[in-house]
Structure formats: C-alpha cells, structure tokens
Amino acid sequence: MSAVRIGLLGGSFDPIHKGHLALAKAILKDGCSQVWLIPCMISPFKHEKPTSFEDRVAMIKRAIAPFKKMKVCTIEKELPMPSYTIYTLQKLKEKYDHEFIFYIGNDQAQLLDKWKDIEECMKLAEFRVFKRDSEMIKCPYDLKEVPFERIDISSTKVREGAFQDVSESVRNYIWEHRLYLHEFARHSMNEKRYRHSVSVANVCKELASAHHLNEEDAYVIGLLHDICKCWDDEKSERFMKVYEKDHLDEPKAIWHGYLADHYLKRVFKIKEKHILKAVHHHVKGDCDDPYAQIVYIADKCEPLRGYDSSYELNLAKRNLKEAVYYVKQVQSEYIKKEKQV
C-alpha cells in the first residue's frame, strides 16, 4: 500500500488570504491527497513580530473550513524557534508515515541554498516550486515546477487595508479580535494624522473607563475616526454622492466623518452601531450617544493639540454632556478670533 501523499504549505499566514487558498488548491491539483498549512512560530527570514500564533491558526481554520482536503498543522508550536524547516520535517516524519511534498514560491527557491540543513530537508520531503506565468525560476536546485496563475495579493497589503482579499470568515475574525487596525490606520493617513489618531484613541479609552463604557470600542473609535481624512477631494466627493448626497453642500472638512461611517462598514461589515454612529458624528458633536460624545471631546482635546485642555477632560470624566457643550463654546470662540485676525 503506497503512502498518502501530503502537500505542505508553510508560511506566516499573517493573515491567510485568498492567494494562499489558491496555492492550496493548486497543490491538490498537483496530485496530493491533502494539503497541510503549517503556520510558523517565528520565521528565520522575517524580523517583525507576527500576530499571535493562536490568532493565525484560528484564521486559517476559518478560511479552510469549506475545504475537506485542507487542514492546519500546528506542529511548529512544539519545536525550537526560529521555525527552521528541517525541524518541522524531522518531526513530521517521526509522527507520520506519509510522503511529504514541500511547496515553495520562487522567492523562497532563490534562497534555498541558505536554508538550514537544506540537503537533509530534501531527503525528508520532495521540494517543488510554484511557477507563475512566464517567470524564470532561479533556484540552486533542480525542482519540479508547478504552474500557477499570478495573483497580486499579499498579507502585507491585507494588513494595510485590502481586507477584500481574505474570506469573509477571516475578515470577521480580524474585526472581532481588532487585528491589524494600527497598520490599517497608519497606511490610510499621513504620520501626523496617525499620531493624532492614536492620541485621540488613548483619550477615548480613558474617558470610557471613567464612564464604565467599553474601553476597547472607544479606543477603536478614536483610532479610526479620521480614517478618511486624507482622501483627496475627488475620492471624497465620489463617495459622498453615493452615500451622503444630503450633506454635499456642507464644508468638505466635515465630510470625513460621514465617509468613515460608510467606509468602515464596507471594509469590516461592522455591526456595532455605536461605533459607526460615533465616527459619523465626531466632527460636529451633534449626537447624544456617549461614544460619540467621547470621540468629539477627545478629538478636540487630545494632548498633541498643544494647548492645556485639562479642564475640559476633567469635566468630561464627570459629565459628558456638559463637556461637549463647553468644548463647543471654546471652539466657537476660537473660530471667531481666527476670523478677526
């Protein structure tokens, strides 16, 4: 009886995306009975700290749930770090009497001679390389090439906001567990706006704590309230015409609040109405929802604004409604002075 042929696909999977699933399907078409996705603990070729192993495994499980011949293999959690392939293959051969085929991309193939104990690795598993379109495979070893149509998807792009490139179940997990939000925010705005947003988020969390509200939700509202602030006029107007026609005559400086509501709903399928309501109303402070009041106050009074707002923040910790009224008065007086100059 011949051994079961198992295709191995390793990586950070941070997060797993549709490109990974396409690779897994290609492995099955290449004659493997199953494909095992092996998330690494810490890659020897990457310096940044990955998302927690548990979160990455959970996302993989959600992504592959519809595919009976795909499974997640968590063996690298048991092994020394960083995650060298030689240790993984040795452990797999120790535990299973299968024929293993290890699939890699062209970028990995070019560096294959730098892998730890690569000659021993090749005794434990056959290595094959994905060949995309007409690209030239540059590899120090003679590997079988597996044809694969190029897909312009990467985990980096997903973390920066291309969440349409993951399955809906994974997108839901990302939002539920608040993953990658800082990378998303940083990529969506300039550095100054990002620092402001983080500062607002910290103030929101502090005020939420004072009023026994959900601190995590308040932080996220603060972090993402300006997610559309750096859009150009053309993009902003295009979205406004679709979602907020009734507010087109208002100053463009106000639009980003309306846009953030619809954009975040579109990106994450957000169901928490208080989060959407808060970002929608954060510019004008015209909503009596406590989260909306918090982000309005935090936006105007966060420390990086450069003026002493300790009175406003202390007032806000006692009474949000009074603080909103006071901040509006201060803002109104400031605008009048600016017009007189």
What DSSP assignment string belongs to 151-218?
----HHHHHTT-GGGS-HHHHHHHHHTT-SHHHHHHHHS-HHHHHHHHHHHHHHHHHHHHTT--HHHH
Integer Cα distance of 206 and 301 in angstroms: 12
Q: Which pTM does this prediction carry? A: 0.92
Question: Do 154 and 264 fall within a single domain?
Answer: no
Question: Do 118 and 160 fall within a single domain?
Answer: yes
Question: Do 154 and 237 fall within a single domain?
Answer: no
Question: Do 167 and 286 fall within a single domain?
Answer: no
CATH of the domain at 283: 1.10.3210.10
- pLDDT computed for residue 316 by the predictor: 98
Integer Cα distance of 246 and 21 in angstroms: 42
Pick the last residue of a domain from 131, 149, 173.
173
Question: Do 112 and 54 fall within a single domain?
Answer: yes
DSSP H or E stretch at residue 275:
helix 273-281
Question: Do 128 and 238 fall within a single domain?
Answer: no
Phi-psi region of 306 (alpha: psi -120 to 50; beta: other; left: phi over 0): left
- Provide the residue type at 20 as one letter: H
- pLDDT computed for residue 341 by the predictor: 47
Question: Do 83 and 60 fall within a single domain?
Answer: yes
Question: Do 138 and 221 fall within a single domain?
Answer: no
Phi-psi region of 117 (alpha: psi -120 to 50; beta: other; left: phi over 0): left
- What residues pair up with 272 in beta bridges, in sequence order? none
Question: Which residues in the chain show pLDDT less than 70?
Answer: 1-2, 43-48, 334-341
Pick the last residue of a domain from 115, 146, 173.
173
Pick the last residue of a domain from 173, 192, 222.
173
Q: Find the domain containing 126 and state its range.
A: 5-173
CB half-sphere exposure, 27, CA atoms < 13 A: 31
Count of structural domains within the chain? 2
Question: Do 254 and 316 fall within a single domain?
Answer: yes
| Cβ neighbours of 102 (radius 10 Å) | 24
